Structure 1
Amino acid sequence: MTTNINPVDNGRAYGNRNIVMQHVDVTKEARSQQKAQKPCVIWLTGLSGAGKSTIANLVEKKLFAMGQHTYLLDGDNVRHGLNKDLGFKDEDRVENIRRVSEVAKLMVDAGLIVISAFISPFRTERDMAREMVEEGEFVEVFVNTSLEVAEGRDVKGLYRKARRGELKNFTGIDSPYEEPTDAECILNTNERSAEDCANQLIQYLVKHHYL
């Protein structure tokens, strides 16, 4: 008798039974002590055009100048490599964030301060990213800008394309953005410059002993 087996499900089950975590002697705590910093994920979320990438870049430059060990994960850059096979449907967006969250988790384990700049429009996916690291290792930063202001900037021309129907599933136009309800830090780029917002975020990290 021939039995039909789903190769994907069977492979997952086989892997789950035979793959175990390998012990390593150099721990996250040792790596963070070596770097004299508290590893964490700084997760910047907000509309396209809110200023996430600009602020993230400024923050990393400031931290680097302070001697901190960092890495910046940017939404556009990641889609050129790791996530170039993903589109922009809701399920693709969730998978995009899942993969990035796994990478960020590995970098936190390496003792790094990880700066992530992603629209990440859904609360559930941001919660997923938070849950992948330990308590106190995730700083959600809401880059708060009104749709009107973000669309007025439109530095990449994406809003114009979305309004013309040339770009589907665009956050703020035909796909929703769910604002954070309990972000650790809120940066208002309607009223403050990117430089001021970067300094505000640095001050938060100092005050809460990440640096």
Structure 2
Amino acid sequence: MNTPIETTTGYQSETANQFEAELTWAGKQPLMPGRQYRINLACREILATVTAIKYRIDVLTGAHLAARTLNINETGKVNLYTSEPLIFNRQSNKSDLKFVLTDGQTGEKVGAGTIDFVLRRATNIQWQNLAIDKNARSVQKQQAPKCIWFTGLSGSGKSTIANLLEKHLHQESKHTYLLDGDNIRHGLCRDLGFTEADRVENIRRVSEVARLMVDAGLIVLVSFISPFRSERRMARELFTVGEFVEIFIDTSLSECERRDVKGLYAKARSGKLKNFTGIDSPYEPPVSPEIHIQTTSLSPQAAVEKILKQL
């Protein structure tokens, strides 16, 4: 389905991938800015992200209310980003600009709305082609760049195994970088908390950084809880086939609590630490990761050896 938005004959159209829209939410789970959905617009279906909620509209008074999310049956003004440019015409009929959002995993309809106008930033920014590309950087480093993504509960052993793997790769003269969840929150993501919306944004930022590092020809190791399948899928889609390797560090909740070297589970159980993954915030395990590590039967060093054999 590659048909663009139909435009009215005689009117000048413009190509853009960022829009303001009015959106009514229909999903059982709240709208999360930064999360990827699928948009169906004028017989074309592509990926779309709500990048910001400008305000929620009070259905009784029409008042504009501050909002960080939209719940079922709520309507708001939002900024939309589409993965591919669309042809837009200000003179189009409203019916031509209506869209539907669906969940990328389940196909469930989660929202519907109407495009209002193109955001100026969409037409002001153009992709700059550069002389040196990923292939040239990879040849120089004599390696195939990859994103090796570790996911698992807090205390599962992600950072320990990722650190050992990077050490081994470094000894083999590979060019690497390790992005660790705790370390990133000291800088790039220090403004984010641990609500579901903040976790979504946390992974979006890290995914983009990892993509840039792979483009630089590096083997980048990402060690994040990354609890939601939708965000891990979004990260995967930033890379070409074979560049993204998902490693599930599978450790039971009881074993993670037993280790609890940071004392976080104890705080979460006592109610002192809210939105903690595995306690009062969900963890969605990978369905088909490239590599599955069960730490109760493998030591960290044995886990690294298994990873190296499968990479």
Superposition TM-score, scaled by structure 1 size: 0.91
The one-letter code of the counterpart of 1:145 is: T
Match among 214, 220, 233 for residue 114 of structure 1 = 220
Deviations 1:76-97 (A, max 9, x none): 0000000000000001000000
SS in 2 for 1:173: coil
Distance 1:156 1:93 in 2: 20
Match among 70, 74, 83 for residue 189 of structure 2 = 83
| Runs of 5+ consecutive residues of structure 1 not aligned to the other structure | 1-5, 206-211
Deviations 1:170-192 (A, max 9, x none): 01111111110010001111111
Larger radius of gyration: 2
Structure showing the higher strand proportion among its residues: 2
In structure 2, the residue matched to 1:124 is 230
- Alpha-carbon shift at residue 62 of structure 1 (Å): 0.3
The one-letter code of the counterpart of 1:24 is: L
SS in 2 for 1:168: coil
Task: Point out 4+ residue stretches in structure 1 off by more than 3 angstroms.
Answer: none
Deviations 1:153-208 (A, max 9, x none): 00111000000000001011111111100100011111111111111111212xxx
Match among 246, 264, 270 for residue 158 of structure 1 = 264
Distance 2:256 2:303 in 1: 16
Superposition TM-score, scaled by structure 2 size: 0.62
Match among 47, 64, 67 for residue 153 of structure 2 = 47
Distance 1:173 1:20 in 2: 44
% same residue: 60
In structure 2, the residue matched to 1:168 is 274
CA RMSD of aligned residues (A): 1.4
Match among 184, 201, 210 for residue 95 of structure 1 = 201
In structure 1, the residue matched to 2:162 is 56
Structure showing the higher helix proportion among its residues: 1
Task: Figure out how many residues of one structure are paired with residues of the other and give that number.
Answer: 198
In structure 2, the residue matched to 1:31 is 137
In structure 2, the residue matched to 1:70 is 176
| Runs of 5+ consecutive residues of structure 2 not aligned to the other structure | 1-53, 55-77, 80-115
Match among 295, 298, 307 for residue 189 of structure 1 = 295
Determine which structure has greater relative contact order: mean sequence separation of CA pairs < 8 Å that are 6+ residues apart, divided by chain length.
Answer: 1
The one-letter code of the counterpart of 1:81 is: G
SS in 1 for 2:281: coil
Distance 1:38 1:77 in 2: 26
